[in-house]
Amino acid sequence: MRIPTFSLLAVLALLAAACGGGTTDTTSPDSTTSTLAEPAPEAVVLSYGLEPGTSFSYEVDMDQAIDLMTSGDPTAMGEDEIPAQMSLQISGTSTLTHTISEGPEPGTFEVNITGDFSNLEFSGTIDGEPVEEAEIPDIAELDPIDVTVIVDEQGNVIPEDEALGEDFLGGLGGLGGLDMLGQIGAAGSAGQFVGPPLSDEEVTVGDTWSETIETPTLPDDDPITILIESEVVGTDSVDGAEVFIIETTTTTSPIEFDLAELLLGLMSAFMPEEASEEERAEIDAIADEIRFAFSVDETVSEMTTWFDHEAGLSLQAEFSNSTHMVMDMNVPDEATGELVGLEMDMGISQDISYRLTDSSGP
């Protein structure tokens, strides 16, 4: 019996891009003049100035490192390329354009984020050999970014689905705020809405605010808990605009999934009604040995944003994260139906900076 499969590597790469940790350099860029010693400015309510029909663009600089080790049978990943060892460094500059439309509810906005990272540069080794761009694995593919997120005036991402299971085969869109990262691959985590969720109360230098988000996953599994903590640490002048400097720390709880039951359910669902007793017995035999477990360590990401509260835009941002994840799987081979096993250990770290270069009205 031919067992239906789907892109398992996509699952791994999305979760790796969706979590982060590390530190970021909060030193003001060369184009700014620090005013941290001056008295705190008047408290104001911060919000994003998103108007339907407008657009704005960011120059994006990215440095990313991917370290991957695998053992077992690579056919467990279906048609996805999966090396035994990969140490890959990716860097380059590109442009992201945000186009604003009306959201589905009053006070919400659709933000369509597009960009092309095809000019990124690669170095490192794959299975002990120097990297050749023509042989870059799927996990580092540079597909153009084209993702739409829904946000409110405070920059909170509004999830379209309530649980991962509702949209699992559609690309894990049900991960709520995590799906803002959109595309999978080297450029995926750069393609996000630029700026932190803002407080709905007046703030000035020294004020803090936080939010805890619990994102449902699969039924009976613990939710993913995301703690977002922000503080206005000072003011700057960026290209003549007075801005608040906001430091944001995002802590994501450890993530653990075992999708064996889901895979068994899919296999049973695709089994034809006229399946033979032999085919049904094959499913029963697999049930005791099938395994698809992966985990992501607790991760912490750091972001510093230079926010123009009059224009309602992030003029600059620096983002840094890293994460580590492990996958252990024993799943049916697509061609033979025999169980094949694979273990994967992957770490991703990256530094991304954004600089507003253009904004236009309707």
pLDDT single digits (tens) 51-71: 999 999 999 999 999 999 999
- The residue that leads in pLDDT, 19 or 205, is 205
The first and second tokens of residue 193, run together, are 């809405």
For 114-164, the pLDDT digits (tens) are 988 778 888 999 899 998 766 666 655 567 888 898 999 999 988 764 433
Q: Are 31 and 236 in contact (CB under 8 A)?
A: no
Locate the domains of the chain by residue range.
8-360
User: For position 340, what pLDDT does the model report?
Assistant: 83
User: For position 219, what pLDDT does the model report?
Assistant: 66
Q: Is the pLDDT of residue 339 over 70?
A: yes
Beta strands in 18-120 (DSSP E): 32-34, 44-45, 55-72, 85-102, 108-115
The first and second tokens of residue 190, run together, are 């750069």
Q: Are 206 and 40 in contact (CB under 8 A)?
A: yes
Secondary structure percentages of the chain, helix, strand, coil, to 5: 15, 45, 40
User: For position 117, what pLDDT does the model report?
Assistant: 78
User: For position 80, what pLDDT does the model report?
Assistant: 63
192/181 Cα distance (integer angstroms):
5
pLDDT band at 286 (very low <50, low <70, confident <90, very high): confident
Give backbone dihedrals phi and psi of 177, rounded to 5 degrees, phi first.
-60, -25
User: For position 20, what pLDDT does the model report?
Assistant: 39
User: For position 355, what pLDDT does the model report?
Assistant: 96
- The residue that leads in pLDDT, 222 or 342, is 342
Q: Is the pLDDT of residue 353 over 50?
A: yes
Q: Is the pLDDT of residue 8 over 50?
A: no
User: For position 17, what pLDDT does the model report?
Assistant: 43
User: For position 154, what pLDDT does the model report?
Assistant: 95
Please spell the DSSP secondary structure of 187-229, one letter per residue.
Answer: TGGGSS-SSPPPPSSEE-TT-EEEEEEEE--STTSPPEEEEEE
The first and second tokens of residue 75, run together, are 């056919």
Q: What is the mean pLDDT of the chain?
A: 77
pLDDT band at 324 (very low <50, low <70, confident <90, very high): very high
User: For position 19, what pLDDT does the model report?
Assistant: 46
Helix (H, G, I), strand (E, B) or coil at 18: helix
35-44, 81-90, 225-234, range with the lowest pLDDT: 35-44
The first and second tokens of residue 43, run together, are 């408290």
For 191-239, the pLDDT digits (tens) are 788 999 999 999 999 999 999 988 877 666 778 899 999 999 999 999 8
User: For position 14, what pLDDT does the model report?
Assistant: 43
